[in-house]
Structure 1
Amino acid sequence: MHKIFVTFLIAASCASIAHAQVGSIAPFSQDSPVYTLEQAVSSAGGSAPATEAASAAVEAARAGRTVAGLRPNPVVQGQVENVVGSGPYRGVRSAETTVGFAIPIELGGKRGARVAVANAQLSRAEIQAAIIAADVRLQVTQLYVEAVAADRRVATARDQARIASDALQAARIRVQAGRASPLEEQRAEVARINAEANVEQQLRLAKAAHTNLERRIGGPITGVLDGTALDRFANANVYGPVATVDTSSTLAMAAANADVSIAEAGVRLARANRVPDLNVGPAIRRLEETNDLAAVLTVSIPIPVFNNGRAAITQATAQQSQADAQRRVAALDIEQAITDAQAQAANAETAARTASGPALAAAEEAARIARIGYREGKFGQLELLDAERTLAETRNAAINALANYQNARARLERLTTPAPDGGNK
């Protein structure tokens, strides 16, 4: 009797600390530094190919702005007249040579319009870089949360395996004392085998979660994961009103506004291109007959007969209308997405608080009563196994609910990430 009592005290003690235990599959000691979510995000941001591509796009846009501000290059011109003719103009004896250069003079504000387009494109590239950074943060957060949840599932599975092993030992003592049927020992053995198999399965899933996180951050995890990351709630009052979000400052709206700015600058450039440019060409001519020099001044201007620029303006205006319509669509979509994400995050928080609080406490109490009752002969083994199974399922449900909440919260933060300064103008 005394051995049975000690055995179930050990089982109850293990069950009471299982919820607080996080556990980790990483080979780090308890004194190892904590590898936080911010460190993971920072590491991934520096190694993600998408981030590198966004940085290259920003550099290309800056170079494009420099190119847009450059003036047209002058053209060197050479001309030889009165050659390979007849009579006195036979051969090159009467050749007259003219050497000069032509300077294109842009009219209509073309250079300023090009710079405006390049500035708008640069702003759009910077916003796209911010969007990619926010996407990388969301991806890393989800992988980090999954890794922490997987570690906690491993700890729960190990604890349930210890409880099953202790229950098996208790069942053997009862059978040897003649107080129970050998069937109880067999049931306890089946429960122990299933619990140990579950530990192996959870270890594999946790290893996969850690591998995925390491692959995303571009290197090994240098420390233990922050096991408390699942337990942080954003709202003190989960039943309070949902805060209103200014969608005009979000990344999605900033990108739509930048597209409109590019289209507006394109219309201005198309109108500027309708104005013909001048080509002014001072030159020097050598007269072969007298060997004298004379100045030559040429001025040329294209005649807009076949291409007068109206089609380009029509095209640019249509693109502006398209960008403006897409901005209105984006405004509706982002408002709907944020509203849905807020509801999902609030529901996930309610589920997480309930699962990790009252529901888990009730399951733990039920298991504790079942152990005591089984020890005292008031409950059968089936009641004990059912209570332990319910406790294990409730613990896993609490872990899943907490992970779902953290993921929902991360998605909401991604949608409401503010644009960089000036990005929403």
Structure 2
Amino acid sequence: MRRFLVPLACAALTSLPTFSAFSAGAGPGLTLEAAVQTALRQNPLLRAGGHELAASDGAIRQAGLIPNPSLSLDVEDTRRETRSTSLMLSQTIELGGKRAARVELARRDRDVAALELEARRAEVRASAIQAFFDSLIAQERVQVAQASLEIAASGAQAVSRRVTAGKVSPIEETRARVAESSARIELRQAQADLASALRALGVVMGEAPGAIVRVDGSADALPALLEGPALDERIEQSPLLRRARMAVQRADAAFELERARATPDVTVGVGGKRAAELGRTQPLISVSIPIPLFDRNQGAQFEALRKRDAAQALAQAQEQQLRAEVLQAADQLRARAEEIEVLRRDVLPGAQAAHEAARRGFELGKFGFLDVLDAQRTWLQARGQYFAALSQAHRLCADIDRRLGAADAP
């Protein structure tokens, strides 16, 4: 088994204050594990799925019950002297294994409901993970925007001092103030994006609005991507594929029930008849058997058989689609991981070094402020590309997790 471990160690970034997830002195925030566990415990969709699964137990119980007996009373003639009264207790006896077939169908319905709940749990879990990392990346964007504003403000002050000293044109100060205003706008947008991401995370977790204010984790950490036999095993055990295959078994149980219904049931009855003219009670015994001359349930059997064939075809299509989507997402994730590594190792340090060199050169009078703005713009674009790649990578991870389910799922 070969594993593709995404090399996203962020040791090279620890020296950059703009990539600190939390400000100094801040308290601990919500962790990924806590977010996932809370979502699995409180999400209303999962609670609804649990109730639906519990309801299937009642369907199994109902399917195993035998038909109720019937009591009939017949009175002939209204005159007391010639009146005859008949009392009959009848019971239908199911033949052909109908009750067992009903129970089997109800059990398959419960199994489908259980796998539906498991697939829903995978959906909620993946949504919680995606929302968590969206919040974490948005949180880091805020920290970066704050650092960018501090850099822009510091640059504006430096330009102002040089303008006062008569070393540069006042136009340079205007450009610096514009850059500072742009950085402030970027910070406000980042704060709005963070509030939106935290609100979305709270919805997945089933929390009240405003209950989550911080998240705690490393946005650089991506899970290992399985390949080869390990990936094939995860696909085989995915809730979506198991649910599709269980639907085939459910359709087969429905066909067996329709075939059992082709056997007619027998209704037997015992009772007595009281004849006033005879002055005694006569015993009554009845047996009723339908003759399957025209209706042998052949239409329902044909329908159930074709539905079983359709379920088999859908299961095959589900497997092919699932495998193609997972492999495609894995290829995209591998490409994003390589992009992240290049940005982390080469682009970000180089862009930061160029910005620092341009700023120092401007303070020494070697460069113009346009050079500083250009270097700063390049650095901001590199960081934006880095965050975009991180966000896309985590979305791909959540998408794979949504399709394959948790590795430790029952």
TM-score scaled to structure 1, two decimals?
0.86
How is 1:248-327 mapped onto 2 (pairs within 5 angstroms)? 248-327=236-315
| Equivalent residue for 2:223, pick from 212, 224, 234 | 234
Aligned residue pair count = 394
- C-alpha displacement at 1:161, in angstroms? 0.6
Q: Which residue of 1 aligns with 2:231?
A: 244
Partner amino acid, structure 2, of 1:353: E
Structure 1 runs (4+) greater than 4 angstroms displaced: 240-243, 418-422
Greater mean alpha carbon deviation, residues 49-58 or residues 107-116: 49-58
CA 1:359/1:243 → structure 2, altered by over 3 Å: closer, same or farther? farther
Contact 1:116 1:265 in 2 (8 A): yes
How is 1:333-348 mapped onto 2 (pairs within 5 angstroms)? 333-348=321-336
Partner amino acid, structure 2, of 1:20: F
| Equivalent residue for 2:68, pick from 54, 69, 73 | 73
Partner amino acid, structure 1, of 2:17: A
Tell whether 2:37 aligns with 1:42.
yes
Partner amino acid, structure 2, of 1:57: E
CA 1:242/1:270 → structure 2, altered by over 3 Å: closer, same or farther? closer
- C-alpha displacement at 1:395, in angstroms? 1.6
Tell whether 2:369 aligns with 1:381.
yes
Q: Which residue of 1 aligns with 2:378?
A: 390
Superimposed CA distance per residue, residues 225-249 of structure 1 (whole angstroms, 9 cap, x where no aligned partner) = 0141x1112249x9x9896323222
Contact 2:127 2:398 in 1 (8 A): no
CA 1:420/1:57 → structure 2, altered by over 3 Å: closer, same or farther? farther
Contact 1:242 1:342 in 2 (8 A): no
Which structure's CA Rg is the greater one? Answer: 1
Q: Which residue of 1 aligns with 2:115?
A: 127
CA distance in 1, matches of 2:159, 2:229: 53
Partner amino acid, structure 2, of 1:244: L
CA distance in 1, matches of 2:68, 2:146: 75
- C-alpha displacement at 1:146, in angstroms? 1.4
SS in 2 for 1:263: helix
Q: Which residue of 2 aligns with 1:151?
A: 139
CA distance in 2, matches of 1:359, 1:129: 44
Q: Which residue of 2 aligns with 1:21?
A: 20
How is 1:99-178 mapped onto 2 (pairs within 5 angstroms)? 99-178=87-166
Contact 2:69 2:92 in 1 (8 A): yes
| Percent identity of equivalent pairs | 29
CA distance in 2, matches of 1:242, 1:70: 46
| Equivalent residue for 1:94, pick from 75, 78, 82 | 82
- C-alpha displacement at 1:418, in angstroms? 6.0
- C-alpha displacement at 1:63, in angstroms? 1.0
- C-alpha displacement at 1:356, in angstroms? 2.9
- C-alpha displacement at 1:212, in angstroms? 2.1
TM-score scaled to structure 2, two decimals?
0.90
Contact 1:98 1:286 in 2 (8 A): yes
CA distance in 2, matches of 1:225, 1:333: 35
- C-alpha displacement at 1:46, in angstroms? 3.5
Contact 1:345 1:412 in 2 (8 A): no
Task: Say what the alpha-carbon RMSD is for the aligned residues.
Answer: 2.4
CA distance in 1, matches of 2:83, 2:160: 121
SS in 1 for 2:367: coil
Q: Which residue of 2 aligns with 1:224?
A: 214
